[in-house]
Amino acid sequence: MLPSGTAAAGDDMQPGELLDVNHPVQSANGRYTFVFQGDGNLVLYINNSNGDRSWLWDSATGGPVGVCIMQGDGNLVIYDENAVPRWSSDTWQHPGSRLVVQDDGNVVIYRPDGTAVWATDTVQS
């Protein structure tokens, strides 16, 4: 059975929230989009001023679509349609962590004390 939760919104994913397919979270400034695509890939885009998007990072997980969830244990996980984990941030040891799409283009998972435990390392100048 696939994990379930509330849909993420705004610029972050709280514990237990899902990224619904093609319903992204965006940086507060609207410049960066983090989306779980219909092809099963989790992708970070920069939204260019001409209306186009450019790729910055992806999970390389194309395939059957399941869910992308920020678990309560602090792990961001992509499950396929059979509830098999396809990718994770490997941050399961940090309960209560949340993911933030930052205005600088970096996507970061922060522990409740504010310590960063994972990032896409995509800071833009």
| Per-residue pLDDT reduced to its tens digit, 6-60 | 999 999 999 999 999 999 999 999 999 999 999 999 999 999 999 999 999 999 9
Q: Looking at the domain assignment, is residue 46 inside a domain? A: yes
pLDDT at 125: 73
How many domains does the chain contain in total? 1
Can you give the pLDDT at residue 64? 87
Alpha-carbon distance 99 to 119, whole Å?
9
Give the span between the Cα atoms of 12 and 19, in whole angstroms: 10
Give me the CATH number covering residue 49: 2.90.10.10
In this structure, is residue 1 part of a structural domain?
A: no
Q: Is residue 125 part of a domain?
A: no
Structural domain containing residue 82: 6-119
Q: Residue 96 corresponds to which tokens in the numbers above? A: 């209560």
Which one has a higher pLDDT value, 51 or 110?
Answer: 110
Q: Is residue 124 part of a domain?
A: no
The mean pLDDT value for 83-111 works out to 98
Q: Which two tokens stand for residue 57?
A: 């990072």
Domain assignment of residue 109, yes or no = yes
Of residues 14, 55, 15, the one with CA closest to residue 35: 55
CB neighbourhood size of 26 (10 A): 17
The 12-13 sheet, strands edge to edge = 12-13, 98-101, 107-110, 116-119
